[in-house]
Amino acid sequence: MKPATYAVLDLQALQHNLTIVRRTAPNAKVMAVIKANAYGHGLLRVAESLQDVDAFAVARVDEAVRLRLAGFTQRIAVLEGFSCHAELQALLQYTLDAVIHCPEQLTLLNALASDSVISVWLKQDSGMNRLGFKSSKITSAYQQLMQCKAVKKPLGLMTHLANADDLNDVTTPIQLTQFNQVMASLAGERSIANSAGILGWPSALTDWVRPGIMLYGVSPFPDQTGEQFDLKPVMSLHSRLIAVKDIEAGETIGYGGRWRCEKATRYGVVAVGYGDGYPRYAKTGTPVLVNQQRVPLIGRVSMDMITVDLGGQPNAKPGDPVRLWGGGLPVEEIAQWSDTIPYTLLCGITQRVQIVEHPPVKA
Ligand SMILES: *Cc1c(COP(=O)(O)O)cnc(C)c1O
């Protein structure tokens, strides 16, 4: 029995997207960002098919430990580093790279008694104002790390771009200048670029790049799709029609009666809703593929169902295939119709959605 709602993952597309990263940043090592369950695609599955990257990056210690316990031997950077002694111990035990972004971490490192060593990335806050040391504090943090016995030398040096997805924004050049100035006299490999940095800012391509969203075939830029960069979507979300009905002019459909039918039409009920991760805020008109053809979403998205106008497809019947995104229907487009970004849609796929791998993984 095929599940009503499922996501198909095209693992060859994942490989293909990695080649685009390498082609765009031919001299850089690749740290594949697979945080948040690999942007909803499945942490271990994605790590498995990206075996030949130079390192993985995740946000949290537990994500990294899961990778180690599953047998991955690559370098794994924990982007949020550690915030207590127990987390630092876990990083040491599992040979994980820590991002060092605040003075409390230096204190924890200096208090280490063990003679084990940890690889670290010193993070500069060059303007994002999230994690990292401000420029004026970088040199001192660098020196403290260099003096710390538990820290492996040389250090890695990194920063994160706040507005790289806007090619006209002045913040990125300012951040790049800040990073280059502050780091000029410090030894260590450099890492700056996320996907938007890789695709949009050649001067952000340093020793290491950190692609996330582009690996999954999706554009980091709000007004472009992955296809424009020769990326291929990895995830497609599928369901099927479970009812086909007719409605009279003047009637309404769904919760709140928000959608009122102007002329009699045929419509369909699809087995997908926000309980699967389809966005509650998708507006009437959001495209949905029924039998490979676009039809508009009508009415509100429920937890388990949506309704679509089948006026243009009077022969559609229960059981017919429906695609919510992926393939000919970029998730970037669905994000626009829902006033969100594709990242949230991919990460938001819920446990109920069954994942089907293509090609199937070896048992
Ligand atoms: C999430 C993240 C990335 C990847 O960003 P994308 O926009 O998905 O490419 C890179 N670096 C850091 C520090 C991140 O948090």
pTM: 0.96
Q: Alpha-carbon distance 202 to 85, whole Å?
A: 38
Spatial separation of the C-alpha atoms in residues 137 and 244, rounded to whole Å: 64
Ligand 1 centroid–CA 33 distance in Å is 6
Q: What pLDDT score was predicted for residue 363?
A: 41
Ligand 1 and 126: CB distance under 6 A: no
The reply to whether ligand 1 has any atom less than 6 angstroms from the CB of 76 is no
From 245, 255, 281, 317, the catalytic residue: 255
The pLDDT of residue 116 is 81
Task: Confirm whether 232 is a catalytic residue.
Answer: no
Cβ–ligand 1 distance for 190 under 6 Å, the answer no
Nearest ligand 1 atom to alpha carbon 35: 1
Spacing, Cα 142 to ligand 1 middle (Å):
23
Amino acid residing at 345: L
pLDDT tens-digit series, residues 89-147: 999 999 999 999 999 999 999 999 768 899 999 999 999 999 999 999 999 999 999 99
Is the Cβ atom of 160 under 6 angstroms away from ligand 1? yes
Q: How would you write the pLDDT of the chain (363 residues) with one tens digit per residue?
A: 789 999 999 999 999 999 999 999 999 999 999 999 999 999 999 999 999 999 999 999 999 999 999 999 999 999 999 999 999 999 999 999 999 999 999 999 999 976 889 999 999 999 999 999 999 999 999 999 999 999 999 999 999 999 999 999 999 999 999 999 999 999 999 999 999 999 999 999 999 999 999 999 999 999 999 999 999 999 999 999 999 999 999 999 998 888 899 999 999 999 999 999 999 999 999 999 999 999 999 999 999 999 999 999 999 999 999 999 999 999 999 999 999 999 999 999 999 999 998 876 544
Cis peptide, bond prior to residue 154, ω within 30 of zero: yes
Does the active-site annotation cover 94? no
d(CA 267, CA 246): 6
> How many residues does this entry show for the chain?
363
The verdict on the CB of residue 238 being under 6 Å from ligand 1 is no
